Amino acid sequence: MTEEKKDTRNHLRIPSIVAAISELDPGKHFTLAAKPECSALEELLGFEVTAGERDMAHEAFKKEQKKKIRPKGSAVVTGHDFLSRMKDKGMGESSGDE
């Protein structure tokens, strides 16, 4: 597949995958790494979803959710924001000592 066809395919599929992510049950359809399960997305959408597509769509979904939760330019930091940032930096991971 050429890069141009691949970009067009992603451009058309990613919005569908983003919409499907909003339908998933976070307690059942997400991995331990807090990513949507490709198999759950495939079941909803009826087509194969690659990990790369899932990741692109998940990032778009998270950005969309942040816009809904907090208006742009807001200085309010939620607990969710704090924990997400700590996780992104590799902090707050369980050390297995618990």
Give the start-to-end residue ranges of the domains of the chain. Answer: 3-88
Task: Decide if pLDDT at 95 tops 50.
Answer: no
* 14 CB-near residues (< 8 Å, 6+ apart): 53, 56, 57, 60
Q: Residue 89: pLDDT band by 50, 70, 90 thresholds?
A: confident
Mean pLDDT in residue range 68-74: 63
pLDDT at 97: 44
Q: Residue 73: pLDDT band by 50, 70, 90 thresholds?
A: low
At 21-58, the pLDDT tens digits run 999 999 999 999 999 999 999 999 999 999 999 999 99
Neighbours of 42 (CB within 10 A): 15
Would you say 79 and 68 are in contact if contact means Cβ atoms under 8 Å apart? no
Tell me the three state secondary structure of residue 47. Answer: coil
Q: Is the pTM above the cut of 0.75?
A: no
